[in-house]
Structure 1
Amino acid sequence: MPVRRQSRPIGAVTSHVWPSGGRHLWPSGEASDVQSHARGHLVYAASGVLAVHTERGTSIVPANRVAWTPAGFTHYHRAHGDTDMRIVFLAPSLARLIPDHPAVFLASDLAREVLLALTGARNYDDAAPGYDRAARSRLVRVLVDELREAHEQPLHLPDPRDDRLQAITRMLYETPADNATLAELGKTIGASTRTLSRLFRNELGMTFYEWRTQLRIYHALVLLGEGHDTTRTAYACGWANPSSFIAAFTNLIGTTPGRYRTSLQTTSPPT
């Protein structure tokens, strides 16, 4: 049964790292160095919102998602809102059971509890009874099995290679509330709507509308994680009214912005 949790502000970075995982308590805005690892790893935001930036793009990790970064991928993390980041490294024999590209999965209740157990105080506090190797192996296998049953979530923003797309996406990152059409954006860089539409499909695997919606949801998660209310977040991210924002957010995240924001404010993970 999940433990009732009380929120607490995070002042400075606190890190615990061990061979199979780690836990970092980060204040809002904190970012890691650019790095890569010999083993793939799962990242979970037990509280707050994480952005995982890789060479393939940005994965958004709110508190009900798990991000996967395969071995060898250059990446860095950034916290939005005070964030309790948990990390579990996977052996190659288990890593090959999940995708060979960065991905985000919905965290089931079981996956969440296993992640918390694998990264809790008993892994780094000598005063707490730890797991033996066999028990840890069983827990990690349960976690991988849960992720294999989960669907990948559309919370990954791929980065384009084409210079014209890079210019478009850069403008949208800087001003997510901009409601300019693709044709209007294309005029600023000298590219036709047809060309840009093809590039979005071929390079990013989605339409311009789908990419911009995901970008706006990303910014909404950041703003909600930083304590902004639903109405302010809706307008800041480009929605004409809060109701359309709530519908889009709920469709992608699985809960309303208000409930998501409340969950961040009223709970924090057990140790």
Structure 2
Amino acid sequence: MQKIRHTPRAATSVRELDTGVGIDPHRHDDHQIAYAGSGVLSITTDAGTWVAPATRALWIPAGTVHEHRGYGRTDLHSVGLPVHLNPLSLDAPAVLAVGPLLRELILAYTREPEDESPQRRRLLGVLLDQLKASPLQPLHLPAPTDPRLVAVCALLYADPADPRGLAELAAQAGAGAGERTLSRLFRAELGMTFPQWRTQLRLHQALRLLAVGTPVTAVAHRCGWSSASAFIDVFRRAFGHTPGAHPGAHPGAHPRRPDTP
């Protein structure tokens, strides 16, 4: 069993993560905002995975056991907040929209030395005001716990492009439940339908692939969309821009190996 580190204070800092490199499971007594100034950042807890490109930030409540993972060369900007500072009153991890002003506030606050100067307190105050106005983004991929769902979802974790329906996946996984039962379980346990969960999984994988320079057409194919145009349409509706405009994306680039600078 992996040991979970307890770091009481969530430091305000900047840290660089290479592709695939992360921070092992740990928890803080403070709240934490995690933001990728470049690349794509994910956090994983027992409840699932949340993913955030440079237009999003991750809220991690105090006491939450979590691990970070970077995709692409990721600058992890962390803001630690004492428990009484919770501008959105969130008690579970969440993804927040980050506009240009909030981005600059996070970058400035994490790069300055930690002190108690009036200037720094004013900067934090504006940052918290901006957080209050940040809408939540549905970029959560909930993790199943029911063994029947775990068996089915494992096939899609291994290959998000698998086109088979729920009945065929259940048969291969030996889930021991029919399509109707599994459909009810998806809604009851994960809060979404099976097609919605699969789309969320594919979007998560797409963000990771784009972060390491995989061409848009290749991402569409590897994530299970029938065409690049179908992928672009879903991506635009989820993130408000096309995959080619995604920070760090290279529409015509060749995929980059994880260890390539």
Give me the TM-score of the superposition, normalised by structure 2. Answer: 0.87
Structure 2 counterpart SS, 1:34: strand
Which residue, 216, 238, 243 being the options, matches 2:224? 238
Contact 1:47 1:264 in 2 (8 A): no
> CA offset at residue 264 of structure 1?
7.6
Task: Give 3-state SS (helix, strand or coil) of 1:43's partner.
Answer: strand
Q: 1:221 to 1:245 in 2, by over 3 A?
A: same
Instruction: Give the equivalent residue in structure 2 for 1:136.
Output: 120
- 1:157 corresponds to: 141
Partners of 2:59 and 2:94 within 8 A in 1: yes
Shift of 1:96: 6.2
Q: Cα deviations across residues 218-266 of structure 1 (Å, max 9, x unaligned)?
A: 100000001111000000000010000000011111110011155689x
Q: Which moves more between the two structures, 49-58 or 63-72?
A: 49-58
1:82 equivalent among 66, 73, 76: 73
The CA deviation string for residues 189-245 of structure 1, in whole angstroms up to 9 with x for no partner, is 221111111111111111111111011011000000011110000000000100000
Letter in 2 for 1:193: E
Structure 2: give runs of 5+ residues left out of the alignment: 1-8, 252-261
Task: Tell me the equivalent position of 2:39.
Answer: 48
1:70 CA drift (Å)? 0.4
Q: Could you list the per-position Cα deviations for residues 106-134 of structure 1 after superposition, in whole angstroms to 9, with x for gaps in the alignment?
A: 102111111001112x327xxxxxx6433
SS in 2 for 1:119: helix
Q: Which runs of structure 1 show a deviation greater than 4 angstroms over 4 or more consecutive aligned residues?
A: 261-265
- The alpha carbon displacement at 1:93 in A equals 1.6
What's the counterpart of residue 171 of structure 2?
187
| Structure 2: distance between partners of 1:133 and 1:172 | 50
Report the residue type matching 2:140 in the other structure: H
1:208 aligned residue (194, 201, 207): 194
Q: Name the CA shift for 1:195/1:46 in 2 (closer, same or farther; >3 Å).
A: same
Distance, in Å, in 1 between the alignment partners of 2:169 and 2:234 is: 23
Contact map agreement 1:59 1:103 (CA 8 A) in 2: yes
What's the secondary structure of 2:96's corresponding residue?
Answer: strand
Tell me: CA distance 1:196–1:180, structure 2 relative to 1, closer, same or farther (3 Å). same
| Match status 1:118 vs 2:102 | no
* C-alpha distance in 1 between matches for 2:10 and 2:185: 42
Q: Distance in 2 between matches of 1:264 and 1:94?
A: 38
The aligned length equals: 241
Q: 1:75 to 1:181 in 2, by over 3 A?
A: same
Q: d(CA) in 2 for partners of 1:227 and 1:233?
A: 10
Q: 1:110 to 1:72 in 2, by over 3 A?
A: same
Note if contact 2:141-2:201 (Cα within 8 Å) is conserved in structure 1.
yes
Please, which runs of 5 or more residues in structure 1 have no aligned partner?
1-17, 125-130, 266-271
The percentage of counterpart residues that share the same residue type is 44
Instruction: Give the match's secondary structure for 2:181.
Output: helix
